[in-house]
Structure 1
Amino acid sequence: MTTMKTQNPLGYEKESKLLVNFAIPCIISMLVTSLYNIVDQIFIGQGIGMLGNAATNIAFPLSTTCTALSLLLGIGSATNFSLHLGAGEKEKSARYAGNGIFLMAVFGLCLFLATTLFLTPMLKFFGATTEVLPYARQYTRITAFGFPFLIANTGMSKLILADGSPRYSMISMLIGAIVNTILDPIFIFGLHLGMTGAALATIIGQIVSFSISLHYMFHFKNIVLNRSCFQIQLSYCKEIFRLGASACFNQIAMTVVQIVMNNTLAHYGAKSIYGGDIPLACAGIITKVNMIFMSFVIGISQGVQPIIGFNYGAKKYKRVRKSYLLALGVATVLSGIAFFCFQVFPRQIISVFGEGSELYFQFSERYFRIYMFLTLINGIQPVTSNFFNSIGKAQLGVFMSLTRQILFLLPLIIIFPLFMGIDGVMYAGPIADAAAALVCGYFTIRELKELTQLEKLTLNL
């Protein structure tokens, strides 16, 4: 066990170097995941227009559902993988990987079937208006075929990262995004396939990425997968669900909020000078742009996961504390850069996604500046939530992941519009951000004190 700990660079390499090596590929992987939606949004906006953009916003909850399931199984199996690898238990690490991969396949197929069977009522529930529904249905009917590949690929990328191959994880995601980006203009403009072309480009890119990640499953560096690893064991599944719940619930919370927000924007927008479709289109674009920023923050939080998990398993608590604080500091700096861009260049950012009326740009600028006003502190909650998850404190991780979306934002976007109309949705964002940051700060200080005590006990033994 001692030999294992000293040989693995996670246990002795400088924390800043490890964070760079692991976080950058994670950030790029997350950016690639965002690009699948954003590239479609840009080409659809240029080729189809505002209703096409609104349609991708309506379909977006299904994308976040895919991400939720992939993180539940990917982060859950990868965290257990890291903790047991740090303790020198390679066989258990292999079984967690095998069980996680099997569950990814099952969940992906189930989501595809559910979407195919209940497509139209599902899209109406997500807030589709009469004008937007045909576009959303055309797009989602095809992208649903890619759900099993997207879930499996995103989940397997977390295992690849935990195995110490962040670059491979990044490359598999990057190649798929490049394929999607090349095919989008060919299908949309060259072959005049419209929403169908955008959807086809997306699933082809996802299948390419999946194939590359699947190849790695037979070439792990630290473990060897065999048939017995894929035999489902309830105890392993329970631990995967437990430690993946935090990341999953965060995405589910985003999905719930997105659905409620779509319906709220359509309802109160229809009562305003903007109408129902302009708020839906603008909010969809701003959500996708925010995904770019959050890709950096979530990439950092996921990149630090194997570092924290391994060292916590190896009882190197000083390295755990330093790694977390470093990740939090970097995420905060990036949040400041995003805040500046969102406040100074909202119109320019919106223009990338196609033209619109002056009323369209007027609403989008106000929405950007108000709703994203406290982007400066938005890095705290994701990094902290994943920190608790990485050290095996799943309940706290789940609670942290739900603070902004469910405890604060969801009630506010329901209550504020009753008194403020559609402006209430905008002001709900920064207030929820501030409340979530305060809650995370309290639990973080308490946990850092506990880590200091554990470090002292370890040194005295």
Structure 2
Amino acid sequence: MRHVMVMAGTGAIGLMAVFAVDLLNMIYIAHLGDPALTAAIGFASAIGGVQIAVSIGLTIGLGACVGREIGSGRFDVAQRVASSFMTTTFVLTLLLGVATALFADPILRLLGASGEALTQAERFLYIVSPFLPFVALGMSSSALMRSVGDARRSMNVTLGGAIVAAILDPALILGMHEGLTGAAISSVLSRFAVLMLGMRGAGAHGLLRKPQLHAIPGDTKRVASIAGPAILTNLATPVGSAYVTGNMARFGLDAVGGQASVERIVVVAFAFVFALTGAVGPIMAQNLGAKKLDRVREVLRSSLTLVALCVATTWVVLALIQNLLVAGFHATGNGATLIHLFCSWTVSSYLFVGMLFVANSAFNNLGHPIYSTLFNWGRATLGTIPFVTVGARYGAAGVQIGQSLGCVLFGSLAVVVAFRVVANLNVGQVTPETDAIVAASDVPTLSPEAAMADLDAIEEAALSESK
């Protein structure tokens, strides 16, 4: 429990800082009094969510593979895999970012954007999307630091990016009257800070070196066995959100702006839950690699306990401050209704969202990534489309309620399956292809005991081995 708390808590600080700045950004834009601008953020966020989902999926695959190698005491293999896949991540995210900028107009129209909201959302994506590799590589570097237990440096990556955005957002949006363009410029500079801090931290642990070109295809294939399903898994959430945004657009710009406001409240209020799901993956992978299956089971139980405590506390806080949030976002009509509904009732559905995310971490790191893909896409399709379609008959509030009911169903099913997966673990599963790779290359290894020791011991052993 303490290990999970430390790793997730430090991650939550960084994430909360990033999301809090994003929330303030939304408030700054709302302060300008133009509903088209707040709606534009909602439309652009729906597309940006797809980009970040791909980046997170790549990060999950990298963290799981590197964490397992470190847990098994194979630091040299972990170093090689990390360097290879960081190269792959750069290429893939650059292609995705450029493609998004080129096809922003038809994609936004498909979501229901039109008029000034369409123009503003396009402009935002033109500026921000090509710089997707900055944030993807920064996130990957942060995952590498978590894989060796460096919670502080991992936290500083996202915290540093948040500080840059916190300074630039009000200056550009309000001070220089740049509006949504100012927010886009701030986002690019913030991503650059994330990249610099991430690469510096990963380099400090010797986790990165010059990639070996001949090793990139093989290492990429290995990580892709986890990253591929993880990407598909993470894409489900923004795809489902895009469907919700499209339905909200039927009820006017206030509804789209209100939905965007709720999404920003969610990521701040549940930063700990999101950080938890990112932190427990490497912990599970390390203990699986070290053949400590009892700890794997304990991580799952501890994580779910923390999710429940977090959701209960957040529900009370949001119920008390909901009027302040409505005023802060300058929400009216359907926008205000959606914020009140979320803070009073539908926030409870995030208990089941948290359960689903924790279960996905278990699936991705314990050899069953296809399960997380199936559950997330089940939630995004069967758990979203019919529920939201029926709910839309009763207005914008019905859309939000329908989305919440789908979360309850699939979160419950996922956690039941996760417990079955963990209960059926056996030591024989801990002999992946890495054993053959190490034997063939005769790479010297660290002992599992040294690899599972505290951070200083890991660093000292790795340095001694490299010498």
Under a length normalisation based on structure 2, what TM-score does the superposition of the two structures give?
0.85
CA distance in 2, matches of 1:48, 1:168: 39
1:260 to 219, 225, 243: 243
Retained in 2: the 8 A contact 1:109–1:147?
A: yes
Give the match for residue 122 of structure 2. 137
1:424 to 374, 398, 402: 398
Give the match for residue 7 of structure 1. none
CA distance in 2, matches of 1:381, 1:25: 21
Retained in 2: the 8 A contact 1:266–1:277?
A: yes
Which consecutive residues of structure 1, in runs of 5 or more, have no partner in the other structure?
1-15, 270-275, 456-461
- Aligned-residue offset at 1:39: 2.9
1:305 to 281, 291, 296: 281
- Aligned-residue offset at 1:251: 3.0
1:121-145 per-residue CA deviation (whole Å, 9 max, x = no partner) reads 2222232132411221232222224
CA distance in 1, matches of 2:197, 2:2: 26
CA distance in 2, matches of 1:247, 1:40: 29
Change (3 A) 1:397 1:359: closer
- Aligned-residue offset at 1:373: 4.1
Q: Counterpart of 2:300 in structure 1: which amino acid? A: Y
CA distance in 1, matches of 2:300, 2:345: 30
CA distance in 2, matches of 1:281, 1:131: 14
Asked if 1:91 corresponds to 2:91, the answer is no
Aligned length: 428
Give the match for residue 145 of structure 2. 160
Retained in 2: the 8 A contact 1:73–1:103?
A: no
Retained in 2: the 8 A contact 1:142–1:200?
A: yes
1:378 to 353, 358, 383: 353
Under a length normalisation based on structure 1, what TM-score does the superposition of the two structures give?
0.86
Change (3 A) 1:53 1:316: same
Give the match for residue 302 of structure 2. 326
- Aligned-residue offset at 1:239: 2.7
Retained in 1: the 8 A contact 2:16–2:271?
A: yes
Give the match for residue 365 of structure 2. 390
1:88-113 per-residue CA deviation (whole Å, 9 max, x = no partner) reads 22232122201221122112211221
Retained in 2: the 8 A contact 1:305–1:386?
A: yes
Asked if 1:244 corresponds to 2:213, the answer is no
Other structure's SS at 1:315 match: coil
Other structure's SS at 1:71 match: helix
1:225-275 per-residue CA deviation (whole Å, 9 max, x = no partner) reads 2332x55543322332222245433431121112211211112x1xxxxxx
Asked if 1:412 corresponds to 2:395, the answer is no
Change (3 A) 1:352 1:63: same
Other structure's SS at 2:262 match: helix
2:210 to 226, 249, 270: 226
Give the match for residue 206 of structure 1. 191
Which consecutive residues of structure 2, in runs of 5 or more, have no partner in the other structure?
429-467
- Aligned-residue offset at 1:177: 0.8
- Aligned-residue offset at 1:315: 0.9
Retained in 2: the 8 A contact 1:78–1:159?
A: yes
Change (3 A) 1:101 1:32: farther
CA distance in 2, matches of 1:95, 1:48: 52
CA distance in 2, matches of 1:425, 1:277: 15
CA distance in 2, matches of 1:47, 1:232: 52
1:313-359 per-residue CA deviation (whole Å, 9 max, x = no partner) reads 11111111112211111111101122223444333223222x24456
CA distance in 2, matches of 1:312, 1:105: 29
Other structure's SS at 1:127 match: coil
Give the match for residue 447 of structure 2. none
Give the match for residue 264 of structure 2. 288
